[in-house]
Amino acid sequence: MTVAVIFVSRRAAGHDVEYAAMADRMDELARQQPGFVEMVSVRDPKTRVGLTVSYFVDEESARAWKQHPEHLVAQSRGAAEFYEEYRVTVAEVTRSYGFP
């Protein structure tokens, strides 16, 4: 079952260049993971609140990405340097609709 990983965060002030480089690299790396489906990411520059939802084909793929060595380093830096707060919510997709 498709799994959605919802990541909400608020960026601390500063470290903008380093953060952008890390975020770009994580975006690139996530898309290369086995079982990756898609990802959408939005940050409001004013509030510094960001929301990223990534989808994987199953729970195992999502867990494997969480444990990727380079991602683990990024998670650690995120908590120590980049984010004032964050929350990860993992959920199993039951339906989806939209337009066009």
Using the rule CB under 8 A, is 97 a contact of a second copy?
yes
How many CB atoms lie under 10 A from the CB of residue 29? 15
CB of 10 to a second copy, least distance (A): 10
Using the rule CB under 8 A, is 92 a contact of a second copy?
yes
How many CB atoms lie under 10 A from the CB of residue 49? 15
Q: Of 29, 23, 5, 7, which is closest to residue 81 (Cα–Cα)? A: 23
Backbone phi and psi for residue 79, each to the nearest 5 degrees, phi listed first = -65, -35
Question: Which residue among 28, 32, 69, 94 contacts a second copy (CB under 8 A)?
Answer: 94
Using the rule CB under 8 A, is 98 a contact of a second copy?
yes
Three-state SS string over 18-49 comes to: HHHHHHHHHHHHHHCCCCEEEEEEEECCCCCE
Q: Per-residue x/- marks for a second copy, 3-42, CB under 8 A?
A: -x-x-x-------------------------------xxx
CB of 49 to a second copy, least distance (A): 5
Using the rule CB under 8 A, is 43 a contact of a second copy?
yes
β-strands 36-43, 49-56 pairing: antiparallel
Q: Where does this chain bind a second copy (CB under 8 A)?
A: 4, 6, 8, 40-45, 47, 49-51, 53, 59, 79, 83, 85-100
